[in-house]
Structures are given as structure tokens and as C-alpha cells.
Amino acid sequence: MAEPDIFYILGNRVRRDLLSHLTCTECYFSFLSSKVSVSSTAVAKHLKIMEREGILKSYEREGPFIGPARKYYDINIAKTYVVTVTPNIFWYRGLDLGDENVGEVHIKLPEGKPEKLEEMILTFRSLSGELEKTLKALQAIESRRDRLMAMIKDTYLKEIGDMTQLAILHYILLNGSATVEELSDRLNLKEREVLQKASELDRFVPLRIKDGIITIDDERLKTKLGGERDAGED
């Protein structure tokens, strides 16, 4: 299969939003349509484009109730894309995820300022070698983050089972923090509904909710984890 035109796919806000929802869970068509602010016809067009490019795959599955099978969509690739755009460099690469085996990575930047053309070329070549080591480290880190996110999603749905709470947790983990306004727009919920769901989520994953910004409360999370570890000790 040819490499997908990832810049074309990501150049559209609706397609980015659809991908964001699909990274949280597999979705059927009507659910996706309800989460973006365009018509179902437009959603179908965007899904068709991404499926044609190999980003998505679709399949039909019987639902829990009597009626026609639902068409589901799932992401069909596992890659990290790295891009540099400057007045001097346009360069990008897709890194296949899956391999987490990498040891310590030591980066050594060449010292001094080359003056001769030959020195400049050799220095550039040296930096490119250091970049390759960095990319291998990034590949391993993202592979592990991907595996951990899959475990988090599976565990949360089994133990708590609230899809909206999971969507909030998923977004905050990926972005470090989120405003109530962002989550309202992303999840197609009223801001008071976002705050209610965040408060429910806080019972399981400690959050810090202040001035309309939601983040993970690492200190409370560590305290909770320490308490759970000590709970079985006499």
C-alpha cells in the first residue's frame, strides 16, 4: 500500500476531529456524525477520503438491538510523522510504531563553527546521524505510549465504563491539559456537562480543575497509588 498523504488528511479540521474521536474508541457512522459540526453527508465524504488513503478501515457489525448492522470505522495505521519546515529545509518521515527495544540514547552535537564547505558538509552529516538516533528513540517512546494508551482505554472501560469520561481523560493525557471550552467543542457537549463529567472522572483519576483548565493531579495520583499499594499490608 502506498504511503498515505498525511498532510492532505491533516489539513482539514473535520478530518482531524474525526481521527481524534477514533483514537479514543472505534466508532460507528452516526456516532461520529454527532460529534462534529458538519452534515452527515460531509462526514461520509471525509471518511471515504481517509479510507481511500489507507488511514481508516471500515467493517459492519451487528448491534445489540434488532435492526441493520452498523458500519464501524477504525484507524488502519500505526505511525509517527516527523516534519521540519524552514527557509532551508523541508523534510519529513513516517516512523512505523511497534518496536520498543532501544537502549540509552546519547546525543552529541558537534562543537565549533565550520568555515570551509567540506567542514559544513561533514558537520551536517554528523548531525544527521545524531538525528537518526533521536528518531529511533522517538519511535520507541511513541510505541510504548501507544501500547499504554490501549491498556488505559481497555482498563477504564472494563472498570468504569463511561465513554465520555474516558474521552476527557484521553484528551488530557495526549495534550497535558485542556480547557473546559476545548473539551466542550471537541466532545460536542455543553460546558456544564464537561464539568460534571470531569468531576465524575476525578473520583477515579485525580484531576486539578481551576480557572476552566483541567489537568491530571500527579501528586494526588501518586498518593492514591501509594495508598492502594499499602491497603493490603498489615
- The pTM (predicted TM-score) of the whole model is 0.86
Instruction: Indicate the burial class of 149 (C-beta count within 10 angstroms; 0-12, 13-18, 19 or more).
Output: middle
Distance CA 199, CA 84 (A): 40
Q: What is the pLDDT of residues 114-131, one digit of tens each?
A: 999 999 999 999 999 999
Distance CA 88, CA 212 (A): 40
Distance CA 53, CA 86 (A): 27
Q: Do domains 6-75 and 162-230 have the same CATH topology?
A: yes
Residue 190's pLDDT band (cuts 50, 70, 90): very high
Give the per-residue pLDDT at 102. 79
* Residue 28 scores a pLDDT above 80: yes
Nearest to 51 by CA among 110, 103, 1, 88: 1
Paired with 96 in beta bridges are 79
Q: What is the pLDDT of residues 84-114, one digit of tens each?
A: 999 999 999 999 998 777 778 899 998 889 9
Q: What is the DSSP letter of 57?
A: E
Instruction: Indicate the burial class of 24 (C-beta count within 10 angstroms; 0-12, 13-18, 19 or more).
Output: buried
Domain 162-230 has CATH 1.10.10.10: yes
Give the per-residue pLDDT at 226. 86
* Residue 231 scores a pLDDT above 60: no
Give the per-residue pLDDT at 65. 58
One of 3.30.420.40, 1.10.579.10, 3.30.930.10, 1.10.10.10 is the CATH number of 6-75, namely 1.10.10.10
Distance CA 125, CA 112 (A): 15
Give the per-residue pLDDT at 140. 94
Per-domain boundaries in the chain: 6-75, 79-144, 162-230
Phi, psi of 208 (to 5 degrees): -115, 115
